[in-house]
Each structure stands twice: as structure tokens, then as C-alpha cells.
């Protein structure tokens, strides 16, 4: 069984949690209301299932508010792991829900994610590290490249390989907003 640690999140473990700017809290409420009337589109790749709500109008507003109030803090945090934002076009923000397989942040990006719905237990995986965390609505997670975010399963590991073994229903990660930040390593 994988060794799961429970502690304050730090980017060296794959993710760091930040507070949502006050201005963004109102936008987050608008976003919750917007997605109530949207039926998500199912996107499946092999065993991975993602439910996409697309990019409601409030996504851009939330992304802008986070950028205005958190850009310097995000740059500072990224620099602690020798990363910096790359001058490149950022992908459109999106609202998604995922099942057991979670979401993976590819090598050239850091991911910003904000929980929209109810609190959820998650496991952040980066290499052999696994950190358990209770994600609260309105909290920003900054995820490292090559990191995955998965819902906790019955044994608390977020182990998607255990899929189908004693699971009576699919695990779901609650609705969340995310956007990607193109990053590159810098040498000091």
C-alpha cells in the first residue's frame, strides 16, 4: 500500500493551497449558479472519464480576478521549485468533474484549480509522493507539472488502480474550475 502523508500542502509535494481573493468569492457564487443549468459533456479516454461544463462566462472573470490578485504570489511559489511562467498563450479555463481517475497536469504546465462544490477528500500524487488533503470550496490549489489530483477512495489512497476492487460506486471529484499556466524551469 502506498504511503500517504497528511500535512499542509507544499508545492514540493505536488500542490500548494492559496486563499481565493475576496473579489473572486462573488464570481465563484455566480459560477455555481451558471453551472446548475448546464448538462456536462462526457469526455472519455480509455478508463478516464471527465465531465466538462465548458467555459461559462464567469470562468474568464474568475481567472482574471485570480490573476490580478495572486499573480505575484503564484510566481513566488513557483520560484521555490525553480519554475517560472512561460510567455505563452494560456489555455481557456474550464469547469469539470472527474471520476476515480482524477486529473493529470502535464509536464509543461502548472494547474490552478478552485473547488466550486462541497468539500472533498483528495490525494495529490507526484512521483512516489502521495499527500492526502481536505479540499474546501473556494480554495485555490496550485499543482506542479507531472502531478495528479484524485478523489480519496475507501482506504484513503486515491489509488485508481484499485478500481473495481470492492468499490460499489464510482468516486467523484466535485465540480471545480481549472486553468493551466505554461511554465518552464529556470536556473539560478
Residue ranges of domains in the chain: 5-185
Distance, in Å, from the CA atom of 87 to the CA atom of 74, rounded to the nearest integer, reads 15
Query: Residue 26: CB partners within 8 Å, gap ≥ 6?
Result: none
Supply the pLDDT for residue 172.
66
Under 8 Å between Cβ of 146 and 13: no
Specify the 3-state DSSP secondary structure of 4: coil
Q: Which residues of the chain have pLDDT under 70?
A: 1-7, 100, 154-173, 188
In tens, the pLDDT along 137-161 reads 989 999 999 999 988 876 655 555 4
Nearest to 82 by CA among 110, 103, 119: 110
CATH class given for the domain over 5-185: mainly beta
CB half-sphere exposure, 153, CA atoms < 13 A: 22
Supply the pLDDT for residue 77.
95
Supply the pLDDT for residue 16.
94
Amino acid at each position: 500500500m502506498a504511503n500517504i502523508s497528511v500535512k499542509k500542502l507544499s508545492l514540493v509535494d505536488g500542490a500548494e493551497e492559496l486563499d481565493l481573493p475576496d473579489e473572486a468569492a462573488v464570481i465563484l457564487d455566480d459560477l455555481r449558479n451558471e453551472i446548475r443549468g448546464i448538462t456536462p459533456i462526457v469526455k472519455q479516454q480509455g478508463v478516464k472519464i471527465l465531465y466538462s461544463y465548458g467555459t461559462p462566462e464567469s470562468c474568464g472573470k474568475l481567472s482574471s480576478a485570480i490573476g490580478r490578485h495572486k499573480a505575484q504570489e503564484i510566481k513566488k511559489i513557483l520560484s521555490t521549485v525553480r519554475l517560472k511562467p512561460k510567455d505563452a498563450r494560456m489555455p481557456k479555463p474550464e469547469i469539470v468533474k472527474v471520476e476515480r481517475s482524477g486529473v493529470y497536469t502535464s509536464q509543461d504546465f502548472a494547474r490552478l484549480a478552485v473547488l466550486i462544490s462541497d468539500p472533498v477528500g483528495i490525494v495529490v500524487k507526484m512521483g512516489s509522493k502521495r499527500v492526502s488533503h481536505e479540499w474546501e470550496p473556494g480554495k485555490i490549489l496550485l499543482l506542479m507539472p507531472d502531478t495528479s489530483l484524485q478523489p480519496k477512495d475507501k482506504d484513503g489512497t486515491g489509488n485508481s488502480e484499485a478500481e473495481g476492487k470492492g468499490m460499489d460506486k464510482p468516486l467523484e471529484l466535485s465540480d471545480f474550475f481549472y486553468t493551466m499556466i505554461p511554465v518552464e524551469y529556470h536556473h539560478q
